[in-house]
């Protein structure tokens, strides 16, 4: 059978080449005498979106275009498509496995599919779009490293699109692709695509998404799935398959904290006693000191065994058998860890819970909690709040119903050994099982230990001014040689820090430059600290991750305080996306001397302006952790001054800021006259 001569009579797609009944990639590997697939890495990803956004069609297209379906499977869906009079091969039938799904053209259960390319192996979880199947989406995405959220180009960003993005963020999935599907039904319009990108990017600012990209596609016709679409020449980013093949995975594995939940004790004879399990994080080598929890007994690793013999090291996800130097008591449910790197051991913890059962949560019921290989009774001791996944608002409730998600405090009958979910997903997750019906009723992720009100208050106090109390050792504070009040008297105006915050492209620098010119002309002592300038010097060693952004603002705050003490008006223009960082700078200064100026502008307008071309690069995935696209911006709630650059001119804004500073008694009398 020839690929070039035998065509599909319905869709006019080429038939798959014959390969003894096996999909082409598998047949090629088997025929070569070696199996390169054993050496390739594996990407697990999930698909989600609103109802009828084309999830199953997309997966069917990926399976078809990568020649990962059998000949008889293709013939079966061709026949079904003919009977239904669809006029084309419905590739969604490849994943719609339940009869109810095929009859309704929807996905109900989670469907898992496997395919491979010469670069990588893949496992797909096709999850439902209906709101009543949110729990299925949580199940399908729980082991995913990448999430594809489909958005129908005709409908735009719907509630379910946001819901699935929130769940992916909640589950800590490091990579997210928003696939704008059905572009063929909107004439492959770039404007439609740009509006959806802007809408979803605005929503994603509220989420903790490390890597977010957008791809316009047509799953039905294959546009931008495997090959670039000639009908969308305006899109120059990666195709979906290219991104799936090249996205970096494994970097999020925890290679530091060794955690080994024991699944089974192996004793084939009296001379061998080993402990079988899977390394869920960290690495281990023979000779290392370990501790067994909960007993706390210590020993050394004698050997690390696999099915084919001893190995020198075990890494995350390796299934191995450990033997120890000492005869100590170890049972299923225990955990072997390094002596100097222990998890939290306790029976009370703070968690986010997704309720997955039609019977509501009962705080009086002792549920069975499965955590790693440990099984204990546990209560939901406190319902802190429920999360409205549409608005992300918190609600006070008495119970959780089906698909509800919220924060709870758990109390277990016996201690468990856990880490926070963001640090270690394996030891930071659990499920609850009904003790009577033996069905899974909830899935949870652990935030950390339950803290008392006093502990929370101390944490909040420490966060208010950590930079003000951090000093180098053996350094004694010296008072200023010339007091700020003396400098203010000579300058004829008060000192202040004017902190401009807002999205990139909102107009912070433009306004600050014009304002400084006006202040300088009025005889004020000024200093303008701009983000780009400090990034070329003082902060040139910092990146754009969350920790580096915080350190950048800390340094800027200290520099601003020095110029403030000189009696000047210090204008600082920084995106500064996190309110706690801005408040730390405020805490460095006397009350009434810090003016937060929120330069407000819609994300759509900022992206349209894009003065430095950064948004275009960020949307294309060329810039990581870009505020507004792949990193969140948290706008101020109580700024001293708010200006709107998409509605007001620069001159008008400068005049309004001068008026506010005059009312606050900052400016010289002549400037305010």
Q: Point out the residues that are catalytic.
A: 576
H helix or E strand, kind and range, residue 148:
strand 146-152
Nearest CA-CA partner of 68 in 6, 122, 32: 122
Q: Are strands 594-600 and 641-644 parallel, antiparallel or unpaired?
A: parallel
* C-alpha atoms less than 13 angstroms from C-alpha of 383 in its C-beta half-sphere: 21
Strands 272-278 and 259-269 come out as antiparallel
The tokens describing 268, both together, are 């084939």
HSE-CB of 540 using CA atoms within 13 angstroms: 4
Instruction: Give the other-Cβ count within 10 Å of 543's Cβ.
Output: 13
What is the CB neighbour count within 10 angstroms for residue 590?
10
Instruction: Give residue for tokens 């003016």.
Output: 595
Nearest to 556 by CA among 593, 526, 519, 586: 586
Dihedral angle of Cα 421, 423, 426, 427, to the nearest 10 degrees: -80
Closest-CA residue to 502 (of 625, 584, 605, 621): 605
Q: How far apart are CA 386 and CA 218, in angstroms?
A: 37
CB 598 within 8 A of CB 573: no
User: 28: buried, middle or exposed (CB in 10 Å: 19+, 13-18, 0-12)?
Assistant: middle
Could you tell me the CA-to-CA distances from 296 to 258, 290, 504 in Å, in that order? 15, 9, 52
What is the CB neighbour count within 10 angstroms for residue 435?
Answer: 12
Question: Among candidates 65, 66, 63, 92, which has minimal Cα distance to 80?
Answer: 92
Query: What CA–CA distance (Å, rounded) separates 187 from 645?
Result: 33
Name the one residue in this structure whose structure tokens are 């307008």: 605
Q: Residue 324 is encoded by which pair of tokens?
A: 């120890």
Query: Cα-Cα-Cα-Cα dihedral of 254, 256, 257, 259, to 10°?
Result: 70
Q: Is residue 408 within 8 Å of residue 384, measured between CB atoms?
A: yes
Question: How far is residue 302's CA from residue 326's CA, in Å, rounded to a whole number?
Answer: 9
Q: Cβ atoms within 10 A of the Cβ of 397, count?
A: 15
Q: Taking the CA atoms of the chain, what radius of gyration do you get in angstroms?
A: 29
Nearest to 292 by CA among 335, 328, 331, 323: 335
């Amino acid at each position: 059978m020839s690929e070039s001569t035998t065509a599909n009579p319905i869709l006019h797609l080429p038939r798959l080449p014959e390969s003894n009944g096996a999909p082409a990639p598998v047949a090629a590997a088997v025929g070569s005498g070696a199996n390169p697939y054993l050496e390739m890495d594996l990407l697990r990803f999930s698909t989600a979106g609103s109802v009828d956004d084309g999830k199953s069609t997309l997966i069917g297209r990926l399976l078809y275009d990568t020649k990962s379906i059998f000949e008889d499977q293709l013939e079966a869906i061709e026949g079904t498509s003919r009977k239904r009079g669809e006029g084309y091969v419905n590739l969604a039938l490849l994943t719609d496995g339940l009869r109810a799904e095929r009859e309704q053209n929807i996905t109900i259960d989670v469907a898992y599919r496997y395919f491979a390319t010469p670069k990588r192996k893949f496992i797909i979880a096709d999850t439902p779009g209906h709101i009543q199947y949110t729990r299925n989406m949580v199940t399908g995405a729980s082991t995913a490293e990448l999430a594809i959220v489909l958005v129908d180009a005709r409908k735009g960003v719907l509630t379910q699109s946001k819901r699935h993005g929130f769940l992916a963020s909640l589950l800590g999935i490091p990579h997210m692709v928003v696939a704008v599907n059905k572009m063929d039904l909107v004439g492959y319009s770039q404007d439609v695509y740009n509006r959806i990108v802007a809408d979803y990017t605005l929503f994603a600012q509220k989420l903790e998404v490390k890597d977010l990209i957008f791809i316009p596609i047509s799953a039905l016709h294959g546009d931008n799935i495997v090959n670039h679409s000639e009908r969308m020449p305006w899109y120059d980013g990666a195709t979906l398959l290219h991104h799936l093949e090249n996205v970096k995975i494994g970097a999020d594995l925890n290679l530091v904290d060794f955690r080994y939940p024991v699944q089974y004790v192996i004793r084939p004879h009296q001379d061998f006693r080993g402990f079988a399990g899977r390394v869920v994080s960290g690495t281990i080598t023979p000779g290392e000191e370990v501790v067994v929890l909960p007993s706390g007994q210590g020993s050394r690793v004698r050997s690390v065994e696999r099915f084919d013999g001893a190995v020198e090291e075990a890494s995350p996800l390796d299934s191995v058998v450990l033997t120890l130097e000492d005869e100590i008591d170890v049972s299923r449910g225990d955990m072997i860890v390094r002596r100097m790197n222990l998890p939290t051991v306790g029976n009370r913890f703070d968690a986010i819970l997704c309720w997955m059962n039609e019977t509501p949560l009962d705080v009086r019921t002792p549920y069975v909690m499965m955590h790693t290989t440990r099984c204990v009774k546990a209560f939901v001791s406190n319902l802190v709040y429920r999360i409205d996944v549409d608005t992300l608002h918190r609600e006070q409730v008495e119970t959780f119903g089906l698909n509800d998600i919220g924060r709870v405090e758990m109390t277990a009958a016996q201690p468990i050994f856990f880490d926070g979910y963001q640090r270690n997903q394996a030891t930071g997750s659990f499920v609850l099982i009904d003790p009577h019906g033996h069905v899974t009723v909830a899935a949870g992720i652990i935030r950390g230990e339950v803290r008392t009100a006093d502990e929370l208050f101390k944490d909040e106090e420490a966060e208010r001014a950590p930079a003000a109390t951090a000093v180098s050792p053996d350094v004694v504070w010296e008072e200023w040689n010339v007091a700020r009040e003396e400098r203010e008297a000579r300058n004829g105006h008060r000192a202040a820090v004017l902190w401009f915050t807002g999205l990139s492209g909102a107009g912070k620098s433009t306004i600050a430059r014009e304002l400084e010119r006006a202040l300088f002309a009025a005889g004020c002592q000024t200093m303008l600290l701009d983000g780009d300038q400090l990034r070329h010097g003082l902060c040139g060693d910092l990146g754009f991750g969350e920790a580096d952004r915080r350190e950048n603002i800390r340094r800027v705050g200290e520099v601003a305080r020095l110029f403030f003490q000189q009696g000047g008006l210090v204008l600082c223009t920084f995106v500064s996306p996190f309110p706690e960082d801005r408040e730390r700078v405020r805490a460095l200064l006397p009350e009434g001397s810090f003016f937060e100026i929120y330069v407000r502008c819609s994300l759509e307008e900022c992206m349209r302006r894009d003065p430095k071309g950064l948004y275009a690069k960020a949307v294309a995935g060329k810039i990581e952790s870009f505020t507004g696209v792949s990193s969140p911006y948290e706008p101020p709630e109580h700024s001293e001054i708010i200006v709107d650059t998409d509605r007001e001119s620069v001159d008008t804004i400068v005049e309004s800021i001068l008026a506010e500073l005059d009312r606050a008694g900052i400016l010289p009398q002549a400037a305010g006259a």
